[in-house]
Chains A and B, each alone.
Chain A
Amino acid sequence: MTDTKKPDETRVVAPVDPTRRTEIDKQRVPMSARPYRLLALVKQDAVVRVQKEPDDTVMTWPHLLSIEFLAAGVMSVFLLLMGLFINAPLEELANGNVTPAVAKAPWYFLGLQELLAYFHPSVAGVLVPGFVLVGAALIPYVDRRNAATRPSERKTAVVLFSLFCILGLTLTFIGIFFRGPGYSFVIPYLPFFQNSTNGLHFAL
């Protein structure tokens, strides 16, 4: 007999069908009849060797922190090399009177700028980004019924999200690589195409 104290919610005892009485139920008698209670029946060897719960945790130092420090170090070296060998772009002084041949937004907005070529600006510039941000924030409240986290058990969510990401990435890629002077459609580097240009019209 071990004095294991159970959490409150598991201590509620439901009436047991007489045909399904277990060994514990047979032992259960009114408190007035016995000065002690039977809490659990345990096998003999378990009394002497109380088993610890399986513990799947590890110490933060060194197991987690060493990985973090290594990742930060690799990132630092990478940034240092980038900074040493590739210079940040800088063109002529800003001039509102001289429109450059190719005027592009920063790369993370190029998907939206690409949409601007197909839709009215109030759709591409306002509705879509608003929908994307609000929609993204609402994902956990829409995807409520399915508690599974494994991709194979939540195919709809995974497929929809992936399609959405691929769509956004494709638009951004077109905006980066296939748009040239005057935001016309160009094909970079391949001279046998009619609308080819020799180089990217893109600055990071």
Chain B
Amino acid sequence: MSFLERVDTSIRRSPVWRSIFRNPYPNDERSRAYAVMNNVFLHLHPVRVRQHAVRFAYTFCLGGLSFFLFLVLTVTGVYLMFFYVPSATQAYTNILDLQTRVAFGLLTRNIHRWGAHLMVFFVFLHMMRVFYHGAYKPPREFNWVVGVVLLFLTIMLSFTGYLLPWDQIAYWAITIGSNMAGYAPLFNVPGKVLLLGGLEVGQNTLLRFYVLHIMVFPLVAALFMAVHFWRIRKDGGISGPL
């Protein structure tokens, strides 16, 4: 036994290690079942899944990657929050500072931006995949509805985040986007005032979009995701092969 192997073995046998990882490395069926069942992150999955569900070409991992992008966006978003004030006078300067003076600031902002666009795109693709597999058929009808809500939340997350850099792209994209919503019958002026906190995009809008972007929509989306994933399990895993 080499030195490294001996160190490895003694670490794995130590009481600290065994208090953290209750099971040895999963090698047989029983320990593999425990590995999934006893792990808080992995127990999202059942211990066994149907064979067709494992094929990459069946799902293309689209739903899973949407969720993964949500996690990436949460982590990068929290980092960005340390350097950002939702104020019409400060926000733009914060972004400039973030890009030039904050460690990994530019990279984090880039990843957050591209990840956000990618997430909207992947949720669209996931929806198309589910449709073409007829995976919304009973008993999964309501999970499709939850999915549509999640698509809406994803778009709203992206849309509210779009304003935060407070540059010309952001300002005019949100102006156009909210103008479209402002044509709702009866609800046009109150709707716009509610969304923008005024008749045009300004400080109130920035604060509203910020709170919606970093708190309200992520929490609501997380809630709907929990329901979405839970129902997949309750409906017997993902839909059958074609």
Question: Do the two shown chains form a genuine complex with each other?
Answer: yes
Against B, the Cβ 8 Å flags (1 = close, 0 = not) of A116-160 are: 100011101110010001001101110100011111001001100
Query: In the complex the two chains form, what is the Cα distance from A144 to B115 in whole Å?
Result: 36
Query: In the complex the two chains form, what is the Cα distance from A155 to B15 in whole Å?
Result: 61
Cβ contacts under 8 Å, B52 to chain A: 56
Q: Is B51 a contact partner of A88 (Cβ separation < 8 A)?
A: no
Cβ contacts under 8 Å, A61 to chain B: 26, 32, 35-36, 42
Q: Does A4 sit within 8 A of B, measured CB to CB?
A: no
Against B, the Cβ 8 Å flags (1 = close, 0 = not) of A192-204 are: 0000000000011
Query: In the complex the two chains form, what is the Cα distance from A175 to B49 in whole Å?
Result: 43
Q: Is B61 a contact partner of A149 (Cβ separation < 8 A)?
A: no
Q: Is A103 a contact partner of B172 (Cβ separation < 8 A)?
A: yes
Q: Is A141 a contact partner of B141 (Cβ separation < 8 A)?
A: yes
Cβ contacts under 8 Å, A94 to chain B: 88, 92, 166-168, 170-171, 201
Shortest CB distance A94–B (Å): 4
Q: Is A68 a contact partner of B120 (Cβ separation < 8 A)?
A: no
Cβ contacts under 8 Å, A72 to chain B: 64-65, 68
Q: Does A46 sit within 8 A of B, measured CB to CB?
A: no
Q: Is the interface of B mostly helix, strand, loop or mixed?
A: helix
Q: Is B148 a contact partner of A56 (Cβ separation < 8 A)?
A: no
Given contact pairs A71-B64, A87-B106, A109-B177, A137 touches B49 in the complex (Cβ within 8 A):
no
Q: Is B134 a contact partner of A149 (Cβ separation < 8 A)?
A: yes
Number of A-B contacts (CB under 8 A): 214
Cβ contacts under 8 Å, B69 to chain A: 75
Query: In the complex the two chains form, what is the Cα distance from A91 to B172 in whole Å?
Result: 11
Q: Is B46 a contact partner of A96 (Cβ separation < 8 A)?
A: no
Q: Does B84 sit within 8 A of A, measured CB to CB?
A: no
Q: Does A29 sit within 8 A of B, measured CB to CB?
A: no
Query: In the complex the two chains form, what is the Cα distance from A58 to B152 in whole Å?
Result: 34
Query: In the complex the two chains form, what is the Cα distance from A136 to B61 in whole Å?
Result: 22
B38-75 CB contacts (< 8 Å) to partner A: 42, 45-54, 56, 61, 64-65, 68-69, 72
Residues of chain B whose beta carbon lies under 8 Å from any beta carbon of chain A: 26, 29, 32-33, 35-36, 42, 45-54, 56, 61, 64-65, 68-69, 72, 88, 92, 95-96, 99, 106-115, 117-118, 120, 124, 127-128, 131-138, 140-142, 144-145, 148-149, 151-152, 155, 158-159, 162, 165-173, 175-177, 179-185, 200-202, 239-240, 242
Residues of chain A whose beta carbon lies under 8 Å from any beta carbon of chain B: 56-65, 67-68, 71-72, 75-76, 79-80, 82-84, 86-96, 98-100, 103-109, 112-113, 116, 120-122, 124-126, 129, 133, 136-137, 139-141, 143, 147-151, 154, 157-158, 161, 165, 203-204
Known: A72-B65, A83-B114. 9 other contacts (CB 8 A): A56-B51, A61-B36, A64-B54, A88-B114, A93-B168, A105-B173, A125-B179, A126-B183, A126-B185
